A and B are shown apart, each in its own frame.
Chain A
């Protein structure tokens, strides 16, 4: 007998989300996640000054705002034909590193850990399930680290502010690199904080995640999904340093080795999304479709980006595997481990970049806008591949398209019958107690969904629930 489970809200994510699954004989046989990237940023941006995109698009998301400043700055550099100084790239990427660190530490301790660790008696930590397996001494240690991690993630944002003015919603990332200049004082300030963060990751965060993995081993066999992986590249292609992390690559289970990523193979589909356009499949810079909430079959505001027609997983695990640094497998637990391992990698990258920074380099100019131009900025951010596509006409923005990592991971179905990545990852997962399902939230949170925008969910036969995605 099949049973329908709805979780709304899925807490401990950024923003709001609902998930509906069908369970048959304690196994998930169908799943619908509906995220919505429709607060209407793409509409809001039309007519604004192109320069304002950098600060405006950060307001899409409070936990990953620097990511949008990165993608919009890259898109504007493309449109204005500006090549940043290598010093500008270093400093901008250091700011991006700070966001990775803040994000990964908070996602693991504040969002993920309460799924597996009993944090304490505080009302905030009352859970719905009772599947807490850690021995008392381990549980006590991880619960202490929940609180010890707060000054650490806070200090990651503090580093971000040293170069970026404030966080969240920084002022530093901009066309050409960052707005201010590095000074010796700032460099050592960052280096000291980074040492503390690195020690925390090595001595606490990574051992903690492996402790959880030891007591919840079945999660290595749950939440796998398609196994299609994509990255736009991350901390790569420096003139002197080469690639510190990963180049733009894709892989599928059929491929023996990853292939180079080709941006022309990205399409978006809206067959099951509440949008209308002349065609249901289009290129990112072709069209921003009109909303149409009465559309038949549609059940989500999220569109379905595809690569070469396939849904692709993005994020830390995809990056680690594609860079050759992780081989264990693809599962909910591998994703959670990858996030901790990547935090260490990012801390090391930041240290390398910091060594290359030269104080006093002014990378800003008085920029002029072209009458007409197009640009795109593709960059891997905390949660995966982020793309901004923009067009300028009469020195104003005339078009803006945003495809976020969580769009890749939380898309609805498409015309070929492919489910979205997270939907597929849920299929086949066991649900021990359908009245108190711990498994669904654990699998979904392994993707680190960022849902800070209104998301509408359709549940069978009935109208309509809403969720927020960005």
Chain B
């Protein structure tokens, strides 16, 4: 479904994203976009980002597959299995490709906590795959919290010694799309931009500004309650969830306006605090997620 943007052109992130999607669509019809190869690696994580990408609309996942990219490797979706699958992964090294990675890179036992396949009878670790493919890819997208900063896979005491993708590819620039999981629009919109105009403008942490520029708190529909000091005491309340532990004041995403799953809802709309799943440091720096001790003194109050 194409979203119509009426003049004067809105400068909201949603309108910009819709325009980008429409432009990608039109250029494709004109034959201006050549499909490019996409390699989608799942490493040490829950494989929840690929599930989230299947939830994409405008563009949808099936549109992306048919019209934007040739998906050359995806553990969750490809028909091939075993070494044949790994060979397909390696074959792409001789071509131009965009690399998307979800999951953290497990370093323990030289990467053996996360083997993603085998090659010539030898295990292919996530660490090896990330390094080999990361060095050759034309662009890299780190998808979801585990890839951007270790995420839940690296939560203390971090038994698998998981790290972010950047930590094993120190010299490579990459676009970072934090989130647990990533919102499909953040990924597919970034991919569309990449195909149309090259890399999108990012902040100093590598996040595309069109999705990650603004604090949730600054656009939260419950902000008036915060400003007037009216706070929820339990989940299910309709007022500001700050004292229950809401991380909206430190988390930069467009969740308040974009929302989730076809814009039907989002965590604060569900009467629960934002747990900062899209902020670097999640989960440990965002814990506890929910605190009923609302009487504690908050210094800034």
Contacts and interface: CB of A to CB of B under 8 A. Distances in A.
Contact of B82 (A52, A128, A153, A164): A128
A18 B125 CA distance: 13
A161 B264 contact: yes
A300 to B, nearest CB: 13
B118 A59 contact: no
B85 interface: yes
Contacts of B152: 44, 56, 59
Given A6-B82, A11-B81, A40 B261 contact: no
Interface in A117-167: 119, 122-128, 147, 150-151, 153-155, 157-158, 160-167
B133 interface: no
A454 B125 CA distance: 11
Contacts of A160: 261
A253 B61 CA distance: 44
Contact of B75 (A11, A171, A189, A367): A11
A276 to B, nearest CB: 15
A121 to B, nearest CB: 11
A291 B151 CA distance: 22
Interface string B180-219: 1100000000000000000000000000000000000000
Contact of B236 (A38, A62, A181, A452): A181
B235 interface: yes
A9 B117 contact: yes
Interface string B225-248: 000000001111100000000000
Nearest to B85: A11
Nearest to A158: B261
A90 B19 CA distance: 41
Contacts of A468: 44, 114-116
Nearest to B180: A169
B288 A128 contact: no
B50 interface: yes
B77 A12 contact: yes
Contacts of A151: 60
A106 interface: yes
A362 B236 contact: yes
A60 B268 CA distance: 23
A10 interface: yes
A51 interface: yes
A228 interface: no
Q: Which of B46, B62, B84 has the most CB of A within 10 A?
A: B46
Which 7 A-B residue pairings sit nearest by Cβ, starting from the closest? Answer: A62-B48, A40-B159, A165-B270, A466-B115, A161-B261, A364-B236, A166-B260
Interface of A: 6-16, 18, 38-40, 43-44, 48-49, 51-52, 55-56, 59-63, 65, 106, 110-111, 114, 119, 122-128, 147, 150-151, 153-155, 157-158, 160-172, 174, 179-181, 189, 291, 293, 362-368, 441, 452, 454, 456-457, 464-468, 470
Interface of B: 42, 44-52, 54-57, 60-62, 65-66, 70-72, 74-86, 88, 106, 109, 112-118, 121, 123, 125, 151-153, 155-160, 180-181, 233-237, 260-262, 264-272, 275, 277, 283, 287-292, 294
Given A6-B118, A153-B54, 12 more contacts: A8-B86, A49-B288, A51-B291, A55-B290, A62-B45, A147-B62, A150-B62, A154-B57, A154-B60, A168-B181, A441-B81, A467-B115
